């Protein structure tokens, strides 16, 4: 069953309006609603002074209407009274300046006073509503991982204790941090500082440990909220729209999700321009990342309706987004937001209802989707829960490593990940996003794009995967640094050179290199020069995409599958090494879609992997039960070749060998009549 609902803020609207809103939700076919987020001080206007009566009325109205509630534990942002009680919970910036809490998410979640008050509020809220007939689930706060870290002295002391617990002895820390460089040895753990000063970053080893510390604090905070829910409301589910992938903060979700999270949750925000493919499929990647290997469906606790100053996506796109999310394992879709925002930090964020509370065209699109999905003949096959044969490795740490050393990692880590993910989308192939250190399920193919950090646990995982018969495809920039973010002083790829049967220490940049480092005190000019134009030849195929970086591979036991041409001499571009019962493939350039598509197709054919439905570019499809869902994500009409006759479950039309989809349109073709 698919649940459709919305986000509602009863504290924003007069009580007299609540019944009218609930009536419109029922008319739209909504089954669930998310309440309570972003309003801690509406429940607790001053410390220990709880005012729940107003919310009891709202919960009772939803219970009477038969609409189930996901109740958020609204601990971020913290109330003004808490910031005034103890200013140490305020954020401190990289310059050491304490910041007034003038915007949301300006709270230090690791601060002891903040946690004491937040957990006390969580205890009170969960106990009060644990057995309410409207309750379906609790939400573990809102968008943890968003905002910014705090560099306060109080936070630094917590960091010192984290370092002490991890390294035990100060010399172990000095060794891990290469502290002999630039005369930066520490005599005690108390000497440790956050490795930032204004716009200046410290050494890469220290930067990585700092982000690990911030990540661990956020995971610990979410874990304690989860423990409170499980203790006080054992019959309730729990989810959260955290923001582990936040580019400026975030946390290592894959490290802790199996222990902390019940229902994986997400805010689905592809934007209002579906032509932005990176944003559209980035939203789909976030869903896959948060499902991980849990084999559970996704709860889209927030789902795009409008934006800041944008009324809506083009007509039909919200419905298209909803169906697209189903193909990435969504079970629940909650519109953000119910009514357009009148004020506050989200002024002119447009919702399903207009500013005057009347339905707009978006309400009708959601109503159409809710009606269609409820009446769909194969609704019992949803949510879609495949068992992928391909795993895609993702690493919070690899992201932080590459972002900190952009002078070397010229191709961003996330670009490599998305090139591979979009390749799978184009082929309509499912994948699981995995933590390379700990892969639980069985796969035929493991994809490792630009995974710079290679600790011993990850290396052992790769080694065992290949030994047992799996195929690994790893791309350039991988396995360059160890668990301390120190460059390997051994043959690259570090800890895996014998698995891939190559040496990959040298590299070339066909485009002129530029670094922001002021070497020699002379300003360097950013030149627009291309010194080489290498191509890749693999069998009878030639790949012409521009190459800005390639590694010099020296095969030992590996076979050469592809070479660089158009150079002074041919060099290996793609190699394959037999290791144990499996194959380790190395690609000497960062991931590019065309080449990755060829390699994945070759591996799938060799391994007998399941293939996805064949569609034109921009049409995403999945076979679910006895039908195929086709979603046209483009503004162009698309013609799809069928295997024979079919029947459209949405249109009620028969099809003779072809299906034509209008812009952003959807069809579900029953397969039992295909010939």
Both 534 and 582 in a single domain?
yes
pLDDT of residue 672: 60
pLDDT of residue 362: 97
Read off the CATH number of the domain in which 653 is found: 2.60.40.1180
Confidence of residue 643 (pLDDT cuts 50, 70, 90): confident
Angle in degrees, 0-180, between the axes of helices 204-232 and 112-129, rounded to the nearest 10: 30
For residue 380, being part of any structural domain is answered with no
Q: In the chain, how many domains are there?
A: 2
Angle in degrees, 0-180, between the axes of helices 53-65 and 18-27, rounded to the nearest 10: 30
Residue 514 reports pLDDT greater than 90 = no
For residue 481, being part of any structural domain is answered with yes
pLDDT of residue 262: 96
Residue 471 reports pLDDT greater than 50 = yes
Confidence of residue 233 (pLDDT cuts 50, 70, 90): very high
Both 565 and 648 in a single domain?
no
Read off the CATH number of the domain in which 424 is found: 3.40.50.880
pLDDT of residue 349: 94
Confidence of residue 272 (pLDDT cuts 50, 70, 90): very high
The reply to whether omega before 337 is within 30° of 0 (cis) is yes
For residue 207, being part of any structural domain is answered with no
Residue 675 reports pLDDT greater than 50 = no
Residue 342 has a CB neighbour count (10 Å cut-off) of 12
Percent of the chain with pLDDT over 90: 96
Confidence of residue 674 (pLDDT cuts 50, 70, 90): very low
pLDDT of residue 596: 98
Question: Each residue of 83-124: pLDDT tens digit?
Answer: 999 999 999 999 999 999 999 999 999 999 999 999 999 999
Question: Each residue of 304-354: pLDDT tens digit?
Answer: 999 999 999 999 999 999 999 999 999 999 999 999 999 999 999 999 999
pLDDT of residue 139: 98
What is the domain range of residue 661? 619-673
For residue 325, being part of any structural domain is answered with no
Give the domain-ending residue among 607, 629, 653: 607
Both 496 and 591 in a single domain?
yes
Residue 204 has a CB neighbour count (10 Å cut-off) of 21
Both 657 and 579 in a single domain?
no
Give the domain-ending residue among 577, 607, 637: 607
Cα–Cα distance list, 77 to 6, 108, 253, 505, 543 (Å)? 21, 10, 21, 48, 50
* H helices present in 96-169, as ranges: 112-129, 153-167
Give the domain-ending residue among 561, 577, 607: 607
pLDDT of residue 435: 98
- Quick one: tokens of 325? 């999310």
For residue 512, being part of any structural domain is answered with yes
Both 598 and 627 in a single domain?
no
Question: Each residue of 399-428: pLDDT tens digit?
Answer: 999 999 999 999 999 999 999 999 999 999
Both 440 and 529 in a single domain?
yes
Both 560 and 644 in a single domain?
no
The residue-averaged pLDDT of 269-275 equals 97
Q: Please, what is the average pLDDT of the chain? A: 96
For residue 571, being part of any structural domain is answered with yes
Q: pTM, whole model, 2 decimals? A: 0.97
For residue 640, being part of any structural domain is answered with yes
Both 628 and 484 in a single domain?
no
- Quick one: tokens of 156? 């630094």
Judge whether 301 and 332 are in contact, CB under 8 Å: yes
Question: Each residue of 28-80: pLDDT tens digit?
Answer: 999 999 999 999 999 999 999 999 999 999 999 999 999 999 999 999 999 99
Query: How far is the C-alpha of 330 from the C-alpha of 422, rounded, in Å?
Result: 18
Query: How far is the C-alpha of 423 from the C-alpha of 345, rounded, in Å?
Result: 37
Q: Bridge-partner residues for 35, per DSSP?
A: 71
Both 509 and 555 in a single domain?
yes
Q: What SS3 state is found at 485?
A: coil
Could you give the dihedral angle defined by the CA atoms of residues 482, 488, 493 and 496, in that order, rounded to the nearest 10 degrees?
Answer: -60
For residue 445, being part of any structural domain is answered with yes
Both 578 and 430 in a single domain?
yes
Both 514 and 580 in a single domain?
yes
Residue 369 has a CB neighbour count (10 Å cut-off) of 23
Query: How far is the C-alpha of 503 from the C-alpha of 586, rounded, in Å?
Result: 11
Question: Each residue of 582-601: pLDDT tens digit?
Answer: 999 999 999 999 999 999 99
pLDDT of residue 333: 98
Both 523 and 490 in a single domain?
yes
Confidence of residue 520 (pLDDT cuts 50, 70, 90): confident
> 320: Cβ–Cβ under 8 A, 6 or more apart, which residues?
274, 631, 632, 633, 664, 665, 666
């Amino acid at each position: 069953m698919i649940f459709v609902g919305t986000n509602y803020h009863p504290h924003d609207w007069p009580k007299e309006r609540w019944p009218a809103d609930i009536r419109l939700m029922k008319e739209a076919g909504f089954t669930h609603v998310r309440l309570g987020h972003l309003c801690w001080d509406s429940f607790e206007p001053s410390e220990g002074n709880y005012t729940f009566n107003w919310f009891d009325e709202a919960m009772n109205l939803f219970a009477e209407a038969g609409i189930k509630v996901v109740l958020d534990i609204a601990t971020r942002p913290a109330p003004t009274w808490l910031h005034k009680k103890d200013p140490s919970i305020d954020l401190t910036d990289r310059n050491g300046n304490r910041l007034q809490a003038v915007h949301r998410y300006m709270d230090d979640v690791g601060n002891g006073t903040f946690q004491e008050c937040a957990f006390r509020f969580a205890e009170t809220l969960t106990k009060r509503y644990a057995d309410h007939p409207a309750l379906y689930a609790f939400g573990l706060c809102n968008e943890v991982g968003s905002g910014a870290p705090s560099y306060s002295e109080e936070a630094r002391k917590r960091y010192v204790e984290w370092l002490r617990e991890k390294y035990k002895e100060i010399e172990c820390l000095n060794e891990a941090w290469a502290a002999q460089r630039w005369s930066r040895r520490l005599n005690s753990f108390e000497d440790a500082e956050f490795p930032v000063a204004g716009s200046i970053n410290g050494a890469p080893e220290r930067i990585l440990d700092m982000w690990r510390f911030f990540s661990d604090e956020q995971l610990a905070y979410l874990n304690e909220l989860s423990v409170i829910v499980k203790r006080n409301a054992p019959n309730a589910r729990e989810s959260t729209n955290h923001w582990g992938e936040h580019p400026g903060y975030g946390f290592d979700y894959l490290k802790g999700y199996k222990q902390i999270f019940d229902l994986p949750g997400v805010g689905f925000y592809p934007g209002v321009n579906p032509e932005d493919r990176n944003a559209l499929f980035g939203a789909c990647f976030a869903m896959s990342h948060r499902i991980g290997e849990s084999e559970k469906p996704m709860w889209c606790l927030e789902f795009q309706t409008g934006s800041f100053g944008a009324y809506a996506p083009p007509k039909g796109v919200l419905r298209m987004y909803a169906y697209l999310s189903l193909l990435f394992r969504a079970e629940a879709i909650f519109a953000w937001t119910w009514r357009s925002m009148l004020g506050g930090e989200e002024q002119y964020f447009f919702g399903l209802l207009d500013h005057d509370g009347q339905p707009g065209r978006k309400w009708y699109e959601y109503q159409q989707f809710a009606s269609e999905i409820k009446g769909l003949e194969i609704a019992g096959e949803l949510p879609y829960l495949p068992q992928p044969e391909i795993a895609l490795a993702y690493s919070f740490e690899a992201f932080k490593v590459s972002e900190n050393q952009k002078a070397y990692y010229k191709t961003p880590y996330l670009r490599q990940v998305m090139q591979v993910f979009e390749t799978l989308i184009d082929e309509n192939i499912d994948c699981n996003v995995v933590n390379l250190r700990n892969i639980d399920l069985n796969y035929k193919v493991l994809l490792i794009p630009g995974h710079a950090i290679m600790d011993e646990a990850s290396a052992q995982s790769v080694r065992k995967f290949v030994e047992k018969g799996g195929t690994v495809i790893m791309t350039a920039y991988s396995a360059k640094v160890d668990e301390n973010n120190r460059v390997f002083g051994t043959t690259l790829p570090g800890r895996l050179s014998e698995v891939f049967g190559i040496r990959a220490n040298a590299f070339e940049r066909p485009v002129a290199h530029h670094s922001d480092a002021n070497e020699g005190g002379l300003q360097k000019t950013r030149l627009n020069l291309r010194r080489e134009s290498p191509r890749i030849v693999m069998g009878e195929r030639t790949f012409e995409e521009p190459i800005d970086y390639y590694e010099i591979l020296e095969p030992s036991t590996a076979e050469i599958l592809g070479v660089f041409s158009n150079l002074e001499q041919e060099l290996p571009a793609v190699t394959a090494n037999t290791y144990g019962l499996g194959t380790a493939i190395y690609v000497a350039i960062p991931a590019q879609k065309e080449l990755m598509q060829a390699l994945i197709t070759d591996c799938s054919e060799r391994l007998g992997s399941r293939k996805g439905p064949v569609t034109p570019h921009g049409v995403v499809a999945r076979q679910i039960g006895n039908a195929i869902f086709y979603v046209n994500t483009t503004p162009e009409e698309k013609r799809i070749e069928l295997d024979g006759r079919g029947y459209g479950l949405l249109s009620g039309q028969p099809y003779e060998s072809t299906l034509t989809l209008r812009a952003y349109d959807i069809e579900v073709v029953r397969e039992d009549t295909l010939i």
